[in-house]
Chain A
Amino acid sequence: MAGAKAAADVAAALNGVLVRYPGRPALGPIGLTIVPGEIVAVVGASGAGKSTLLRLLAGLEPPSEGLVCRTEGRTGFVFQAPTLMPWADALANVALPLELAGTARPEARVRAAEALAAVGLGDRLTARPRQLSGGMAMRVALARALVTRPDLLLLDEPFAALDSITRRRLIEDLHRLWAARSPRPAIVFVTHDVEEAVYLADRAVVLDAGTGQVVATQVSPGSLPRPDGWRAVAGYRAAVEALAAELARAMPPLTTESGE
């Protein structure tokens, strides 16, 4: 079993992890350590194994080889799509993780309502997913991931389908919610957007398109959460350009991958 207990200063770690899928070259060996309370952005080409990395960290997929360590704490997950149950309202969707864990329904609903209020949806408790905009649905998904007060929060390109204004707002919200918790949860955030990666994370790791290995790590300037107007500081642009260059180096040749 790959759920070995991690040391106190590690939120999650992959150690020499190999993943084999039939009919494809194996991914790895992947080595990555997430410390408690940090935000790590994961960038890489499509197919570089970004989603696989998250599923490994979540324990949703066993590695073919190697070791996956996680803290004893809870894990939250946000997928690329909101992935809400269409037949249930926002409150029931957010209460789900608590109720599955055996929390009594009234208490689960109260905590779900708090979580929804924290993402600014305190007035949409009874809304069905189809009555919500894309940004709101993503906020519900975020509330659902946060309702268990996870120590490790995994986000798989959660805001990729949203417009840039909504996206920026959600990143601010994510920072705010992260900073409000004590101790702060560790966050692993998969994205294909280098600006997003630099802005939201303490550091960004670049996955190689062919092997899924971590080929570069870049520490973002400044500290989190970002002050207003932080995107205007000189260090931000430079870091974005540097990360973009790293990502370009890790990309596959243009003949197999076009225009991302």
Chain B
Amino acid sequence: MTRLLPPLLLTALLLIAWEVACRALQVPPWFLPPPTAVAVALFERAPLLAGSAAATFWMALQALAFATLIGGGLALAVSLSRPFEQAVRPLAVALQVTPVVAIAPLVMIWAGLDHADRAVVALAAAVAFFPLFSGILTGLKSADPDLERLFDLYGASPVQRLIRLRLPAALPFVLEGLRVAAGLAVIGAVVAEFVSGSGATQGLAWRLLEAGNRLRTADMLAALACLMIMGLLLNAAVAMLERAVRSRLS
């Protein structure tokens, strides 16, 4: 609890300063509404926002699952063969350095306009893929070289080596990759929703766009607050998982 107190205090302080500044300087609410107005918007639009948050969250989660499967599977395959790794790595980096916004229109076409949610999941997965692939690959190769020698000495089969040495050694790296990728999946989902520019996905990004077009600034900030809270919760969940596994592992 004492760890939570300082950030909560600072947040409260900033909100109070914001409120006071808005009132004292008589800032027009379409430009910057005070936090109380945002709170009211948050409360009034709660059912709508909750539904949108769930939609975005679900898409991000699906993207994370796909990215883990594909990134993990590819890392596993690549870890078994050095030439394969040399062939795949540049392509993975190429995917990473290509901005998701730039490939979004293409993915939209492929997914079909009726399936904007599929496109969003695919794009978010593309963004979340790299830290998982890279992290798991690093992890699979992180086992103590002397332990690898021991497995050589006792004639371990590739499967034994994978299950008894490399996968357990990789687990902390998988979790670290998952933590980074979880944040990226949310970002990817939101960016993809923005680019899709249709209400078909009904996610938080759409709420933001919609409110922005109508100059309902307080509604925008309410949606933004939802996104922020969602990101924080996701991060905390993965961090908790990480701690639980670490304490079991070492």
Interfacial residues, chain A to chain B (CB-CB below 8 A): 55, 58-60, 75, 77, 79, 81, 83, 85-88, 96-97, 99-101, 128, 130, 148
Contacts and interface: CB of A to CB of B under 8 A. Distances in A.
B146 A130 contact: no
Contacts of B152: 60
A88 B155 CA distance: 20
A97 B156 CA distance: 9
**Interface residue tally of chain B, by bracket?**
10 to 19
B31 interface: no
Nearest to A92: B164
A156 to B, nearest CB: 9
B153 interface: yes
Interface of B: 144, 146-147, 149-156, 160, 164-165, 168, 171, 248-250
A100 B154 contact: yes
A55 B250 CA distance: 29
Main secondary structure of the interface of A (DSSP, over half): loop
Given A81-B146, A83-B144, A101 B154 contact: yes
Contacts of A87: 168, 171, 248-250
Contacts of B171: 87
A79 B160 CA distance: 21
A87 B169 CA distance: 8
Given A85-B165, A86-B250, A87-B250, A96 B149 contact: no
30 contacts: A55-B149, A58-B153, A59-B153, A60-B152, A77-B150, A77-B153, A79-B146, A79-B149, A83-B147, A83-B150, A85-B147, A85-B164, A85-B165, A87-B168, A87-B171, A87-B248, A87-B249, A87-B250, A96-B150, A96-B154, A96-B164, A99-B164, A100-B154, A100-B155, A100-B156, A100-B160, A101-B154, A101-B155, A128-B250, A130-B250
